[in-house]
Amino acid sequence: MFWNYLNMSIGLVIGLANVFNSAFQGIMRWVIVGCGLLIFIYNLIVTFNQKQNEAANQNTAGIISRKSR
């Protein structure tokens, strides 16, 4: 989970740094911004899915343990 948060922050920094800093010009600048934001969004989705799966597994484990009583 730590790596997802790290990758999200790196992607966001890459995207925002290239929006506000014009080290690159033209289309290359926007390609870098787009890739940074895609990295951010992808890792955000992965993190949400992992959290949702953890919550579902906890609910399922509780249901299974109650049935075995």
**Whole-number Å distance between alpha carbons of 1 and 13:** 19
The mean pLDDT value for 29-55 works out to 90
Q: Per-residue pLDDT tens for 3-32?
A: 888 989 999 999 888 888 777 788 888 898
DSSP sequence for the chain:
-HHHHHHHHHHHHHHHHHHH--SS-THHHHHHHHHHHHHHHHHHHHHHHHHHHHHHHHHHHHHHHHHT-
pTM score of the predicted model: 0.72
Q: Are 12 and 54 in contact (CB under 8 A)?
A: no
Domain positions in the chain are 2-56
Given this model, what pLDDT does residue 42 score?
94
Structure tokens at 19: 């929006």
